[in-house]
A and B are shown apart, each in its own frame.
Chain A
Amino acid sequence: MSAALDRRALELLPAGPRLVSHDAAVFALREKRDAAGRSEPDFERLRDYAREAKAHALDHLDGNLERFEARATAAGAVVHWAEDAPALNRIVHELLDARGARSVVKSKSMLTEECGLNPYLESRGIEVVDTDLGERIVQLGHEPPSHIIMPAIHRTREDIGALFARELDVPAGETDPARLTEAARRHLRGHFLGADAAITGVNFAVAESGTIVVVTNEGNADLGMSLPPLHIACLGIEKVIPRVADLAVFLRLLARSATGQPISVYTSLVTGPRPGAELHVVLVDNGRTRLLADEQHRRALGCIRCGACLNTCPVYRRAGGYAYGYAIPGPIGAVLAPALGGTDERRGLPLASTLCGSCSAVCPVKIDLHEQLIAWRATDVPRGRRERVLARIAAAVFERPALYRIAGRAARWVWPAVSRRWPGNPASPWLAARALPAHPGASFRERWRACVRGADR
């Protein structure tokens, strides 16, 4: 059982005002999604279409990838293929190194987080500046993003003010979000103007036109794509969709599901490089073909990285992103981790869920997230020897009604002892926050038998 996440939650998001405001801030996004969906009559139909469209796109992914590559290349982009994280990092580094690029501006890309691109480049002497405000905040704080849309949602304005006072020369004690943002604007402008290259993520890649679509609210990706002579766009292979027409559905769902906006501020459809500049597109596998081959789990590749599942998850909101120990937290992270996460501990992430099903209910592409978690529990989630033995014993008892009744009687007999707190009581973790239910007296079947006897004519 993965209690590591439970312990990390306790440590990294301790109970108190921080926990309360984290939960509230993240849930506010869920409420915004609800409001946006309620005021859009097409919302539920869009979700149905999106699910079918993604299923269809994945079924024809090979053809879509080839067509995308051909059209993008014809438009002047250079398309690269990376089998895994090390390959992505190498390709990006080589592109930068060959051009003597030393300073890079980067807009949000969960894929590059997943692959650890920043540390790879930094250890080779390349300055990588994350330009999304939330990403810059966590970068300056030497920590990873804790949410896929709002990277610094776990930080208070006081935290950020203190950070900016240290790093950006903002007066000590400044906590006004507008003034802090202004300071970041000035600071990052210099980086945009001086950058040798820009790295961006890609929200969607359209096969029929060879177009990559990059979406932001801040305009940071567009600044990156407008200024330096080199643009490197990184995407997971599952982002390729066949037609421009499908884009309408996904764009109508993405911002509404993520932040409650009808559309993000900047939606850039990029086909080929800027005149006089270079565009390199890197298609990354990193375990996605493994998921694609899995009948039960390939649906998870339909994810458009909106974050709605995080916002609605009672566990994520009270654990915080860091507790997951994986670049992508929350329900979608737990669904992807067994295939893409790479460690035993991450394979246990599907256990970090009450299976309430709220995630599946908000997913814009209708991925059955909670069912995927149940499925992973039966296959890839590591189960210790003790656990397996216990399950076998319990099942053996439950399969035999007579044994079941005896076990029930035994449990009721030791109940008072187990309910009390004493050192070594295996029920201790439970008892720390709760009492055990009161002694049930008799079992249902004992009462039933008494009832029936009493009613016997």
Chain B
Amino acid sequence: MTQAGPEDLLAIADAACRAAMRAGADFADASVERGRSMSVAVEKNALKSSDTRGWASISVRAFSAGATGWASVSGTGLVAARGAGRKAAELARAAESDPGFVDLVHPAAYPDVAGLFDPRLVEVTAVEVAGWITGNIDGARGVVDDALVTGTARASWWEWALANNLGVAVTQPGTSATVNLQVVIRRGDDVGSYHEWDAARSLAQFAPGAVGPAAATEALRYLDSRRMKTGTLPVVFGPSAAAAFLQGVCAAASAEEVQRNRSFLVGKKEARIAAECLTLVDDPLIAGGLSSAVSDGDGFPHVRVPLVKEGVLQTYLHNHYTANKSGERNTGHSTRGGIACTNIIPSLGVRTASQIIAEVTDGVYVALAQPHPDTASGQMSALVDAGFRIKNGQLTYPLKNTMIAGLAPELLLGLDAISSDYRAEPGRVLPTLRLQGVRVASGEGA
């Protein structure tokens, strides 16, 4: 809705920084973002609503003797930008100096990362977005007549610019397209359901038409779910559950959490944290990657970062502040207020997911779950949202009311297989993992 272009956004960010510096800040940076999204929601197989959203905001950080003040405001106007800059500087003076703060990111060349902006997604119409999801209703019902489809399709476009008082000036336009669907199948009191999605940064990589049929096919498999006996068993994480687990582990590698002594990975740099089969690379430079970008939130140029090599933690995830504080190399993981991984790429194993499952005599397969370990304690305790009992190498029956638990440091050492096949999403490689010695709790059953 706002008419500023990317260069204008940079000028606005620069004006905010200058205002902060004039107001007494030692350092300042400012980000400006504007964007628009269009979404269509489906409820019970019928289109429910069509929405379009526009946003525009300025966020300024000012530093005074290392103390941080920040201010954010709506809009992309120069007056608002300057006001936010002055406010951030004023607030920084109210905080206390931080001896760990050195400076902000210095200007540097940025990498080329292709495929993050698709002009066709800026021009996409609501009718086209509606087609992404209504086609999936037919697709799901082609699999199961009485499938109930609920979900959303969305196209988004945004421009982001960041400047700091040291001369950093970076802009990043972006686009994305997503479809998220939940399919429910009822047979009396019995319910089978599944969640599927597709996401991409460009239309060329977007293939939403398979989402509905896939969700319906999976939902059918989850009818007649049962409990199982409580025990300690091998657990196979399917691609989605595995990705959630690994993301949780990477969150504990945040240097902010480590430096504040809030992580189970404190003191583990260059130490073994997982079985030898685990190698992870964080790669924000993948063309069209869902979490790809040319820079992090501080304006530091993104780089490919080996995170875990054959089970050994190679580095913590840093932003400019934590890297300076510890005297380590900046890995470029600032989210401007936090630290987060980008595209996590595990090295693949030599056996397929089917072969890994076939080796399990008695265990559990977890398709969907939120098995994030607690960053401080490493404790993981999660509900199996969708999963199967494995018996004699076969998925036998779907599970209900079943939980899995363990300590992340032990679970990572108990990791004994990563599949050679994987679910591919833009910038993401999602293989299957197998963990030994996971505590499985349920009601009764076999």
A, B co-complexed: no
